[in-house]
Structure 1
Amino acid sequence: MMFLARNWWVFLLRGVFALVFGIAAISFPASAFLSLVLIFGAFALVDGIFALISAFRSEARTENWWWIILEGLLGIVVGLITLIQPASMAQAMILIIAIWAFVSGVFKIVTAIQLRKLIVGEFWMILGGIFSILFGVLVAADPIGGAFAVGFIIGIYAVLFGVTMVALSLRLRTHNARHSAA
Structure 2
Amino acid sequence: MNTMKKIRWIALIRGIVLIGLAFFVFRHPVNALIGVAIYIGISLLFIGITQTVLSILSKSTLENWGWVLAGGLIDILFGFMLLSNPALTAASLPFVVGFWIMVSGVMTFVNAFQNKKEGNANWWLGIIGGALSVVVGYLITNNILVGMFAITSWMGIGFAIAGILNIIIGFKLKSVIS
Asked if Structure 1 and Structure 2 have the same fold, meaning a TM-score greater than 0.5 normalized by the shorter chain, the answer is yes
- Which deviations, in whole Å up to 9, do the C-alpha atoms of 1:158-177 show, x marking residues without a partner? 222222222223334444x2
- 1:169 is aligned to 2:170: yes
Aligned match of 2:30: 34
Aligned residues: 135
The whole-number CA distance in structure 2 between the counterparts of 1:84 and 1:3 is 43
Aligned match of 1:64: none
Aligned match of 2:137: 136
The whole-number CA distance in structure 2 between the counterparts of 1:34 and 1:105 is 27
Give the C-alpha shift of residue 38 in structure 1: 4.9
Q: Which runs of 5+ in 1 are unaligned?
A: 45-81
Give the C-alpha shift of residue 99 in structure 1: 2.3
| Matched position secondary structure for 2:120 | coil
2:37·2:90 contact (CA, 8 Å) conserved in 1? no
Q: Post-superposition, which runs of at least 4 consecutive aligned residues in structure 1 deviate over 6 A?
A: none
1:12·1:166 contact (CA, 8 Å) conserved in 2? yes
2:34·2:89 contact (CA, 8 Å) conserved in 1? no
Structure 1 residues 41, 90: CA separation in 2 closer, same or farther (over 3 Å shift)? closer
| Matched position secondary structure for 1:112 | helix
- 1:19 is aligned to 2:31: no
Q: Report 1:1-182 matches (<5 A).
A: 6-26=6-26, 28=27, 33-38=29-34, 86-116=86-116, 117-175=118-176, 177=177
1:19·1:159 contact (CA, 8 Å) conserved in 2? yes
What TM-score does the superposition give when structure 1 sets the normalisation length?
Answer: 0.58
The whole-number CA distance in structure 2 between the counterparts of 1:152 and 1:22 is 9
| Matched position secondary structure for 1:119 | coil
Give the C-alpha shift of residue 20 in structure 1: 2.6
Give the C-alpha shift of residue 40 in structure 1: 5.7
Give the C-alpha shift of residue 22 in structure 1: 2.4
The whole-number CA distance in structure 2 between the counterparts of 1:132 and 1:166 is 32
What TM-score does the superposition give when structure 2 sets the normalisation length?
Answer: 0.59
Structure whose CA Rg is larger: 2
What is the identity, as a one-letter code, of the residue corresponding to 1:162? G
